């Protein structure tokens, strides 16, 4: 397969044809290389993983569900190593193209999946979102991306990372197609909530670049008009509280990641890129520290968000704090972007919420994303709202106005 985007893996087993008819008939999708396809090794972004694992004996259920609906899987896509990054720059396989901002990162870890959709190699794609790995790439590449409620879609046949955060996610260039794909992937047990007020997260906007706030302001106002009003809320009491929230997320995540992959890493001693190697070393050291109430803080935060959003209010925050950074950043700059971004994505991750990136603004010639989230289990209601908002702003892709 010709791959000008550098989004497809070289060890792909080939396409999987969709059913002749169905609600997704004629559509093509790409699949992040952490999901199994029968008879082929799932590479997970690292050659040593590819070398030390056996071929899958069955397709991941998400693949079968989509092909049964008529969609054809055209190829598997690059991921950051073991999906543990938000950058999308793979040491072994290179960086998929961010066609909306060439020279800038596509975001990760679902970097190949976002590149395939943004670059029009397929109609939609499947990724995974643990700490933001669908939401953030969607924002940086200017397309729609959905993280569903935790445990809403089966992750069987997918490489786990941090199981209490891991979700299947998906990308599309239109909110209408994002919703159509969700109809196939989600079960029918959606919470019957009607979206009402828009709640803007004060500390989330505060940590974003000033240019981001300026570009998103008219979008927030327009969505607020649709929903009958806007109210600013603080979820953490300020930026210090937001940092604590992010550290709670990262600590739980690190413990789970080392519990999932530590034995394989210590046995195999795989070759990682320097940033990923440092991250796994930090996960190991974190796993050796005594528990410090992180799980209790998470449950308290989840209850707070359940109460806040339980009547249909819609939470709004920037998806990422800036436009896509340039490729090849220093480790320090990369970590700064990661920490600021995780401060935003940790909200839905900790509270298990569904969240959608809406590509409705630009700054410095690059896409910006704004996110909406609703109560746990209200995934279909959120998808329908995203479609209404996209229609309100004039179509399937980002508004042309610059911030």
The residues annotated with a catalytic role in the active site are 32, 109, 133
The burial of 310, by beta-carbon neighbours within 10 Å (0-12 exposed, 13-18 middle, 19 or more buried), is given as middle
Cα gap 319→337, rounded to integer Å: 12
Three-state SS sequence of the chain: CCCCCCCECCCCCCCECCCCCCCCCCCEEEEECCECCCCCCCCCCCHHHHHHCCCCCCCCHHHHHHHHCCCEEEEEECCCHHHCCCCCCECCCECCCCCCCCCECCCCCCHHHHHHHHCCCCCEEEEEECCCCCHHHHHHHCCEEEECCCCCCCCCCECCCCCCCCEEEEEECCHHHHHHHHHHHCCCCCCCCCCCCEEEEHHHHHCCCHHHHHHHHHHHHHHHHHHCCEEEECCCCCHHHHHHHHHHHHHHHHHHHHHHHHHHHHHHCCCCCHHHHHHHHHHHHHHCCCCCCHHHHHHHHHHHHHHHHCCCCEEEEECCCCCCCECCCCHHHHHHHHHHHHHHHHHHHHHCCCEEEEEEEEECCEEEEEEEECCCCCHHHHHHHHHHHHHHCCCCCCCCCEC
Q: Which of 21, 22, 361 is nearest to 216 (CA)?
A: 361
């Amino acid at each position: 397969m010709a791959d000008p985007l550098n989004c497809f893996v070289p060890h792909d087993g080939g396409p999987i044809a969709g059913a002749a008819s169905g609600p997704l008939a004629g559509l093509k999708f790409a699949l992040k290389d952490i999901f199994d396809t029968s008879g082929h090794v799932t590479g997970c972004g690292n050659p040593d993983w590819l070398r030390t694992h056996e071929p899958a004996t069955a397709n991941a259920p998400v693949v079968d569900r989509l092909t049964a609906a008529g969609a054809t899987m055209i190829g598997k896509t690059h991921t950051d190593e073991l999906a543990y990054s938000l950058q999308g720059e793979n040491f072994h396989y290179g960086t998929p193209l961010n066609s909306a901002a060439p020279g800038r990162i596509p975001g990760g870890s679902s970097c190949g999946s976002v590149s395939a959709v943004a670059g029009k190699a397929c109609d939609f794609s499947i990724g995974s979102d643990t700490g933001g790995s669908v939401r953030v790439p969607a924002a940086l590449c200017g397309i729609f991306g959905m993280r569903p409620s935790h445990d809403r879609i089966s992750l069987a046949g997918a490489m786990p990372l941090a199981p209490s955060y891991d979700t299947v996610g998906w990308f599309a260039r239109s909110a209408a197609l994002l919703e159509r794909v969700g109809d196939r992937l989600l079960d029918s047990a959606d919470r019957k909530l009607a979206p009402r007020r828009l709640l803007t997260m004060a500390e989330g906007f505060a940590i974003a670049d000033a240019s981001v706030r300026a570009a998103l302001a008219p979008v927030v106002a327009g969505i607020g008009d649709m929903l009958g009003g806007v109210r600013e809320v603080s979820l953490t009491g300020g930026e210090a509280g937001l940092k604590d929230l992010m550290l709670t997320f990262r600590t739980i995540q690190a413990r789970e990641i080392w519990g999932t992959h530590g034995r394989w890493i210590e046995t195999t001693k795989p070759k990682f890129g320097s940033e990923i190697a440092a991250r796994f070393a930090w996960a190991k050291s974190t796993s050796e520290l005594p528990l410090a109430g992180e799980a209790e803080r998470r449950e308290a935060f989840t209850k707070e968000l359940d109460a806040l959003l339980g009547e249909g209010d819609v939470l709004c925050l920037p998806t990422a704090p800036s436009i896509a950074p340039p490729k090849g950043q220093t480790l320090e700059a990369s970590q700064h972007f990661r920490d600021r971004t995780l401060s935003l994505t940790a909200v839905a991750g900790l509270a298990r919420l569904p969240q959608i990136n809406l590509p409705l603004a630009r700054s410095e010639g690059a896409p910006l994303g704004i996110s909406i989230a609703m109560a746990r289990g209200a995934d279909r209601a959120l998808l329908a709202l995203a479609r209404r908002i996209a229609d309100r702003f004039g179509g399937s892709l980002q508004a042309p106005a610059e911030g």
